[in-house]
């Protein structure tokens, strides 16, 4: 119960209404602070470490492949990543009393949405699928994800199964 309350508080603090051009930096700062806090439980640390890695990857790839893109584009992707992760955690919490097969279905739905919506079409699958391939990780998503499209896809699929 204590973990659930901590997770809900974390998600509430990460859902921000920051102005444009600040969203990416704010989400990255909060995730890094959570990862480096020795009081953070393993589940929150794992979620925030994924956010840090996904945001860093996104910035690096945008500079390489989309040097003319705007900060607004980066902020929108970062906000969508945060929304995707919040929805994922909400679904895990809401369905914790469901049969294991249903819980696995929900997790796979999110994994598929992440994998099926690449942003950069990166050929380095070892890097982009490092989390995806790790069966012990709570955040089994591709780093190369168009988070806006993935969020729309997962939302659409969730409506179909309810």
User: In the structure encoding, which two tokens stand for residue 38, read together?
Assistant: 């020795």
- Give the mean pLDDT of 4-22: 49
Indicate whether 51 pLDDT > 80.
Answer: yes
- Every domain of the chain and the residues it spans: 2-161
Q: Within its chain, how far is the Cα of 120 from the centroid? A: 16
Q: What share of the chain is helix, strand, coil (3-state, %, to 5)?
A: 70, 0, 30
Q: What is the mean pLDDT of the chain?
A: 88
* The model's pTM: 0.85
| pLDDT computed for residue 21 by the predictor | 56
User: In the structure encoding, which two tokens stand for residue 74, read together?
Assistant: 């980066």
pLDDT tens figures, 22-39: 899 999 999 999 999 999
Whole-angstrom distance between the N-terminal and C-terminal Cα of the chain?
Answer: 26
Of the candidates 66, 31, 36, the one whose C-alpha atom is nearest the C-alpha of residue 51 is 31
- Give the mean pLDDT of 132-142: 92
- Give the mean pLDDT of 83-90: 96
């Amino acid at each position: 119960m204590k973990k659930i309350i901590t997770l809900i508080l974390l998600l509430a603090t990460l859902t921000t209404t920051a102005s444009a051009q600040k969203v990416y930096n704010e989400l990255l700062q909060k995730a890094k602070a959570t990862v480096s806090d020795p009081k953070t439980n393993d589940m929150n640390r794992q979620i925030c470490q994924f956010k840090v890695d996904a945001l860093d990857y996104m910035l690096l790839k945008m500079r390489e492949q989309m040097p003319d893109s705007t900060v607004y584009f980066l902020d929108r992707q970062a906000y969508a990543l945060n929304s995707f992760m919040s929805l994922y955690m909400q679904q895990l919490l809401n369905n914790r009393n469901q049969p294991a097969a249903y819980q696995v279905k929900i997790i796979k739905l999110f994994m598929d949405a992440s994998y099926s919506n690449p942003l950069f079409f990166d050929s380095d699958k070892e890097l982009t699928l490092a989390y995806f391939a790790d069966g012990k990780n709570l955040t089994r998503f591709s780093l190369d994800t168009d988070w806006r499209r993935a969020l729309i896809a997962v939302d659409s699929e969730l409506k179909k199964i309810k």
